[in-house]
Amino acid sequence: MREVAVVGVGVTKVAEHWERSLRDLFVEASLKAAEDAGISLRDLDAVYVANMSSGYLQGQEHLGSLMSTWLGVSGIAACKVEAACASGGVAFHQGFLAVASGLYDYVLIGGVEKMSDAITPDILSALIMADDQEYVASTGATFVGLNALVYRAYMEKYKVKQEDIALLAVHDHAYAVNNPYAQFRNEITLEQVLSSPLVADPIHLLESSPTGDGAAAIILAPLEKVKRCNDVVIEVAASRVAVDHLSLNEREDITTMTATIRAAREAYKMAKIDAKDVDVVEMHDAFTALGIINLEDLGFAEKGKGALMVKEGEIEKGGRKPTNLFGGLKARGHPVGATGLYQIVEIVWQLRGQAGKSQVEGAEIGLAQNIGGVGSTVSVNILRRVR
């Protein structure tokens, strides 16, 4: 396999883009990535479009051909990749494999989602499609309701207080203030989080990621093509995907995401590192409890101790394991199909030294974790600065 480098990145602001379409957002992010890479879109060999719900919410499928048409490229390979909320991370994995195999040289992976102009019942229906329609969704369960079951079980099993878990939302908002692409650039307090309405007991509104629109794009190329450049070079050190049983009722322990454990273990092995070697992290925190569990399953904390990492400042910029320094899903926003790619772009900015006030000094290795369903599909991508 060839070594693979990230050569270009671009994102749109996450927001309620009422007057912009899927194609508008995708093209904006893609043009930014091409400019960053210093290439023409006509140099591309393939396009992977990450998206979860365009067919249901916009009545539009066949996004590979649609987006390549609007990018002005033809004759290339293009397709949509769907893995629920992990669509972005899984699409990146596919793009990585395509370049590493030698099949393609320049690959664009772009994620896009539009949710703000859909009504809430339709959004809830789209999100629960991440689980089993016949055996779970038919009972009336919602996606946030499933995460509420995990939250409750976690607190009871490990005797963790909700106020400690909820601190993760406060952390996210504190860093989103410095991210011009974030949906919510305002600080919040723990009191505000715990006094916000319940959306599914025990999950409060301000413990939940918002709905919004956005697009992120990344261009990959063989590392050998960029080694002679003078700029900082970012290598894809590892890319792994793992799945678990689709539904919570099929698992032995819903407080541990075994797909995360497996994907992370395989990624660390592929990158020839340990969890302790990771300098900066972007992990999937669609809900605060899920974020806490991820810190543990990625190997950064013992089971039941993830909230303590947050409480003791270990995930701050100057902490032991700086995490979600652009606001995470909670404050940067969660345009579902694009989320995993926003995370990887943010890692690239850190490793390039382009993270502004959120910059982790000397960061050389970064990890991005993206989840589909309630831990049903997990991607773990590790990037390394090689110069």
> Which of 93, 173, 284, 334 is the catalytic position?
334
pLDDT digits (tens, 9 = 90+) for 45-89: 999 999 999 999 999 999 999 999 999 999 999 999 999 999 999
Amino acid 349: pLDDT: 98
Coil, strand, or helix at residue 157? helix
Give the whole-angstrom CA distance, residue 66 versus residue 71: 9
Residue 129 pLDDT exceeds 90? yes
pLDDT digits (tens, 9 = 90+) for 35-48: 999 999 999 999 99
Is the whole-model pTM more than 0.95? yes
pLDDT at residue 225 greater than cutoff 90: no
The pLDDT score that the predictor gives to residue 112 is 98
Mean pLDDT of 351-373: 98
**Predicted pLDDT of residue 226:** 84
| Strand boundaries in the chain, DSSP class E | 4-11, 46-50, 77-81, 107-113, 198-200, 203-204, 214-222, 234-243, 280-282, 365-372, 377-385
b (16+ CB within 10 A) / e for 356-365: eebbbeebeb
167-218 residue pLDDT tens: 999 999 999 999 999 999 999 999 999 999 999 999 999 999 999 999 999 9
> What are the boundaries of each domain within the chain?
4-119+212-225, 122-208+237-385
Q: Give percent of the chain above pLDDT 90.
A: 97
End-to-end CA distance of the chain: 21
> Which pLDDT belongs to residue 96?
98
Query: Residue 96: which H helix or E strand, with range?
Result: helix 87-100
Q: What angle do CA 304, 309, 312 make, to 5 degrees?
A: 130
Closest CA to 346 of 332, 361, 334, 362: 332
Tell me the per-residue pLDDT of 273-306, one tens digit each, with 9 for 90 and over. 999 999 999 999 999 999 999 999 999 999 999 9
Is 114 in contact with 83 (CB distance < 8 Å)? no
pLDDT tens across 306-344, in order?
A: 999 999 999 999 999 999 999 999 999 999 999 999 999
Q: Is the pLDDT of residue 231 over 90?
A: no
Q: Do domains 4-119+212-225 and 122-208+237-385 have the same CATH topology?
A: yes
Structure tokens at 238: 């590892």
Q: Which two tokens stand for residue 270?
A: 């592929």
Are 29 and 10 in contact by the 8 Å Cβ rule? The answer is yes
Q: Looking at 17, 79, 85, 171, which residue is catalytic?
A: 85
Query: For the domain 122-208+237-385, what is the CATH code?
Result: 3.40.47.10
Q: Assess contact for 335 and 112: CB atoms under 8 A.
A: yes
Give the DSSP letter string of 292-318: HHHHHHTTSS-TT-HHHHHHTTTTSTT
Half-sphere exposure of 174 (CA within 13 A, CB side): 14
Q: Token pair for residue 340? A: 């995993």
Q: What percent of the chain has pLDDT over 70?
A: 99
Reported as a single tens digit per residue, the pLDDT across 131-154 is 999 999 999 999 999 999 999 999
Phi then psi for residue 150, to 5 deg, are: -65, -45
Q: Give tens-digit pLDDT for 13-33.
A: 999 999 999 999 999 999 999
Q: Looking at residues 97-109, what average pLDDT do you find?
A: 98
Per-residue pLDDT for 227 more than 80? no
Give yes or no: 79 in active site: no
Q: Quick check: 385 pLDDT over 90?
A: yes
| Residue 280 near residue 359 (C-beta atoms within 8 A) | no
Contact 221, 95 (CB under 8 A): no
> Which positions ≥6 away from 299 have C-beta within 8 Å?
264, 265, 268, 274, 275
pLDDT over threshold 60, residue 228: no
* Widest CA span in the chain: 58
Question: How are beta strands 46-50 and 107-113 bridged, if at all?
Answer: parallel
Architecture of domain 4-119+212-225: 3-Layer(aba) Sandwich (3.40)
State the sign of the Cα–Cα–Cα–Cα dihedral 147, 153, 157, 159: positive
Give the confidence band of 387 by pLDDT, cuts at 50, 70, 90: confident
pLDDT band at 98 (very low <50, low <70, confident <90, very high): very high
